[in-house]
Structure 1
Amino acid sequence: MVRAGLLIPLIMTTTAGIYPASAADSARRDISCGNYRYIIEKSLFGVNVNIMNINDNIIASTERPYCQSNPDAQMVAELSVDGDDIWCVEKFFIVMDRKPIAKTSRLLNLTLDRVFEYDYLWQASDWVKADTRTITCASHKEPKMQKIPD
């Protein structure tokens, strides 16, 4: 029979101690695209994406969420991550209880090191593409250590 005092440390060790490499598995990646620097942090619990404005001295050192809703501006944002594809879809409303009048779809593709931006307007009961932009990024990957043959 196992005493209750021994059972709690056993449960804590098995749940927390099995995954010692999870901290090492988490990855942080910085990538600069145009005027923005994207900070992507992957962990066991998901992905956190922040953005910084590179060229603005006042807010350049301030990270903010990459995809965040703004109710004051009648805008709803939705973040979606699938592997190396990070999507942010922003929908703009005149009145929040009606259909959106415009939307912006941004794809940050970490494999291609590019940001694809698409702007749409709601016209005649359908989304019509209004503008497309592609921004090439400069990746700040940490160089991997190489084994030097003896």
Structure 2
Amino acid sequence: MRLTVNGKTHEVDVEGDMPLLWVLRDDLGITGPKYGCGVAACGACTVHIDGVAVRSCQVPAADVDGEVTTIEGLGTPEALHAIQAAWVEHQVAQCGYCQSGQIMQAADLLTNVPDPTDADIDDAMSGNLCRCGTYPRIRTAIKSAAAKINGA
């Protein structure tokens, strides 16, 4: 099957029911999305398909219809996405395991809600778990990124 990931087209020979997460990690060597729970409850595996956040552990590879973007394709080291820059600025990460999923979910939020309230952030991010408990810094980083995106 053919998948477009981070702007590059890949041919992969996998079973159609293989979760996208494993195709990304095991077949394409893209390790930003993490395995956390396998049941779409933690958000560590969050990627975008055509700009919409999805849990890649629950998306069969054969069902992917659109371009996949992982944390590796969101920004570059030279030109971070606003949410990535805010994560660094506000020192959100501790252990870092959940952070790529958190960032991908936050980027989706800011695409759909350019000036989110605390309630918007809590609602959008509620499916992304952080064992280190950096939730206040996550909220601060999202608000900071929103302000920069909106030119405030």
- Which structure shows the higher helix fraction? 2
Is the TM value for this pair above 0.5?
Answer: no
**Greater relative contact order (Cα < 8 A, sep 6+):** 2
TM-score (norm 2): 0.27
